[in-house]
Amino acid sequence: MASTQIENQWTILSLIQWSEKYLTENGIENPRLNAELMLASALGCNRIDLYTRFDKPLVREELDRYRALFRRRVKREPLQYILGYTDFYGRRFLVRPGVLIPRPETEHIVEATIGLMKETNIQSPRILEIGTGSGCIAITLAAEIENATITAIDVADEALKVAGENAVQHSMNGKISFRKVNILDTDANIPDAGDYDFVVSNPPYIPKDEWDSLADEIKLHEPKNALTDEDDGLTYLKRLAERASDLLKSGGWLICEIGYNQFDSVQLLFSSYGAREIRYWNDLSGIKRIIGGTW
């Protein structure tokens, strides 16, 4: 922060204004929101509270806590890791380095699953999530579907740890079984294979040749193996389509998030592995973001 300003002259408002300007100049999106959320975290208050005491001078300890967060953001560490949480489908989830940050578009997996459950009149669905990450999809489905039984797998120990913490936080740990499994293993042992009404997944689908074009927040900080297969982006989607008939009950649905230009390729994959019906769901930008197939 500016050395020409005496520390005891910093107020909440002046610090937000200075931070917004600095973050803007350094290419950080939503600079004021970033500043407000980090300052609220440093002060241990809600964001709205900042404006009920905007003229409050900050003491050295408060400034030091804010500086530590601010420096991390300037280095392009994602705001969600700095705060330790993000929101998904109206609930707050813990996130930290080593775990993929949930995105708003992934909420459409939840919506598609609930819609198909109602359409098919399944009262007590069995659901498998492959690549659970923070657990946001599995936990949201457990919370939204009263009689759901859910198994969630991931290959990363840190992801499974965070997912478990999130399940406890939302009192859903009794409805979800977390397991360490790599779906790409030829001998991957999926519990209760063949008994699922829905298999859902947000797999690593970013192609290798798109990696360098991603924002620094993503490519420098988020787990690479949760984002890309370091190939054409279709490795996991092919594996999911290949295993669908083994994992699902007859008439069950595989529901996956896909990249902005992948629908045609994934549709062919699903068809080639026996999908009887294929649907898609658009995200808020009109992109075919979710694909579903029934076997």
In Å, how far are 106, 113, 123, 242, 244 from 279, measured between CA atoms?
16, 12, 22, 18, 15
Scanning the structure block, which residue is given the tokens 């798109």? 210
Could you tell me the domains of the chain? 7-72 (no CATH), 85-294 (3.40.50.150)
pTM strictly above 0.85? yes
Contact status, residue 83 vs residue 41, Cβ threshold 8 Å: yes
Q: Is 11 helix (H, G, I), strand (E, B) or coil?
A: strand
- At residue 6, the pLDDT reads 46
Kindly indicate the confidence band of residue 14, based on its pLDDT and cuts at 50, 70 and 90. very high
CA proximity to 82, closest of 25, 31, 28, 39: 39
- At residue 4, the pLDDT reads 44
- d(CA 27, CA 195) in angstroms, rounded, equals 49
Kindly indicate the confidence band of residue 251, based on its pLDDT and cuts at 50, 70 and 90. very high
What is the mean predicted confidence (pLDDT) over 107-135? 97
Which range has the worst mean pLDDT, 5-9, 96-100, 178-182? 5-9
Q: What is the mean pLDDT of the chain?
A: 95
